[in-house]
Every structure is written in C-alpha cells, then in structure tokens.
C-alpha cells in the first residue's frame, strides 16, 4: 500500500494528491512547520477575559458550536482577516484570527446598543 492516511485536520483539506512525500509522510506544502505549529493552527483558544465573560453571562459553548466557530475562523483567515466579529445565534465573539483566540464574548443582552471597534471583518453563522 503506497497511500498514506491523514487523520483529522492536521493538514489542509486542499492538499493535492501526490503532495505527500513518500519518505517523510508529511505534505510538501507544510515543510518547515512543526507538528505543534500545525496543531495550534487548528485549535481555538479562549483568552482569560473571554472565559470570564462566558461564565459571567452564562454562555456555554458545546462541541457543535465550537466546530461552527472554528469553521468561521477558517473562513475569515482565508480572506485575510485579523480581528473578526463572529455572530452566532444569540451571541457575539471577537476573535483574533492569527492566534485563533476568542478575545471576548457577549450574549444577546450585552450586544444591544454596542459598537464593535477594532475589527476588520464579520462572520455571521
């Protein structure tokens, strides 16, 4: 068997067939990146501030919601966004796209009459 198996999303989904080196089993498009760097690019983290806001406002993010947020971050990153407002159901998140870090979170009540500054994009999911 000459084909390699890639599990999960450690590598971009758009890696063309044959882009995997037969010797290293890593995609040629990711040469120079460590496993840790590639893993960190796929993980969404919460800042201390965001974690406190989520707790204070009673917002719980389940696995399905985290998957949607990750997808939104991927889309924003593909468009070159740096700081993005992600609107989802009854909440708003400000996310640093490069670091994949949720900076703050607001519930529906906290969003009323707010002005969002220092963002360069918005993703509605």
pLDDT tens by residue, 22-52: 444 444 455 566 655 555 556 889 999 999 9
Q: Look-up: residue for tokens 């890696």?
A: 15
Residue with tokens 């460590």: 34
Residue 51, domain extent: 45-124
Q: In this structure, what is the dihedral angle of CA atoms 21, 26, 31, 36, given to the nearest 10 degrees?
A: -170
Asked if 14 and 69 sit in the same domain, the reply is: no
How many domains does the chain contain in total? 2
Is residue 82 classed exposed, middle or buried when 0-12, 13-18 and 19+ CB atoms within 10 A define those classes?
middle
DSSP class of residue 16? P
Same domain, 7 and 23: yes
Q: Say yes or no: 30 and 53 in one domain.
A: no
pTM, two decimal places: 0.66
* Alpha-carbon span 120 to 3, nearest angstrom: 41
Q: Are residues 76 and 116 in the same domain?
A: yes
pLDDT band at 112 (very low <50, low <70, confident <90, very high): confident
| 55 shares its domain with 86 | yes
Clarify whether residues 85 and 115 are in a common domain: yes
pLDDT, average across residues 76-99: 95
pLDDT (0 to 100) of residue 25:
47
């Amino acid at each position: 068997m000459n084909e390699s198996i890639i599990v999960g999303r450690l590598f971009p989904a758009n890696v063309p067939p044959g882009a995997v080196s037969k010797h290293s089993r890593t995609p040629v498009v990711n040469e120079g990146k460590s496993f840790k760097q590639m893993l960190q690019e796929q993980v969404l983290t919460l800042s201390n501030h965001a974690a406190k806001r989520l707790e204070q406002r009673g917002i719980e993010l389940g696995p399905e919601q985290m998957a949607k947020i990750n997808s939104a971050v991927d889309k924003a990153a593909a468009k070159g966004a740096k700081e993005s407002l992600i609107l989802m159901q009854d909440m708003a998140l400000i996310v640093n796209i490069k670091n994949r870090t949720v900076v703050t979170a607001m519930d529906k009540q906290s969003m009323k009459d707010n002005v969002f500054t220092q963002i360069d994009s918005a993703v509605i999911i």
